[in-house]
Amino acid sequence: MLRSIAIYPRIDGDDAIHRVRSRFDNLATKVPYHVTLVFPFSSDLAKDEIAAHMAAAVVGVGAISLSLGAPAAKGEIVHLPVVVGEESFRLLHARLYSGLLGHFLRTDLAYSPHLTVGRCPDWPERQTCLTEAESIRGLKGLADTISCEIIEADESSTREIDLPLRA
């Protein structure tokens, strides 16, 4: 089973996020906007095992206030970095990749918490997406739940675990 762990924040004024994603992100209708903590991994681990690991990872971590920075592109992906709240996302990422999920750590990807708004294989489209994503820069929100999702064959996701962040 393919899974990932992410935070689906509530962001004030997220109409701009939906507008940009609907135009440039082919996953916009399948997966709500989110900040990934554990990249997709294939595992037959029991739901209870993952839930217990997640619960241990969030101990002492309360709701995270966040703010999005300037849009950037890495390859075909257009994203906005988390600039306020970044350290909390990094802490959760590191804790989740310890113990039970440690062997799933992707050493080929440097972790930088961000919200993806576009998947643009060609440069002109990527430039347009970057320009339109400027309207998202500076948006603020709150992350108060961590979720494990099952990634379906059609790339949609189904949340199987939701845990509140409480300090």
Helix extents (H) in 38-166: 47-57, 86-96, 123-133
Would the pLDDT of 136 be above 90?
yes
In sequence order, the 6+-apart residues with CB closer than 8 A to the CB of 124 are: none
Q: What is the pLDDT of residues 4-15, one digit of tens each?
A: 999 999 999 999
CA distance 38 to 45: 15
Structure tokens at 158: 């189904």
Give 112's pLDDT tier (boundaries 50, 70, 90).
very high
Q: What is the pLDDT of residues 9-64, one digit of tens each?
A: 999 999 999 999 999 999 999 999 999 999 999 999 999 999 999 999 999 999 99
Residue recorded with tokens 């703010």: 67
* Pair 42, 2: CB distance under 8 Å: yes
Q: pLDDT at position 109, please?
A: 83
* Mean pLDDT confidence for 58-71: 97
CA distance 106 to 41: 10
Report the CATH number of the 2-164 domain: 3.90.1140.10
For the whole prediction, is pTM greater than 0.75? yes
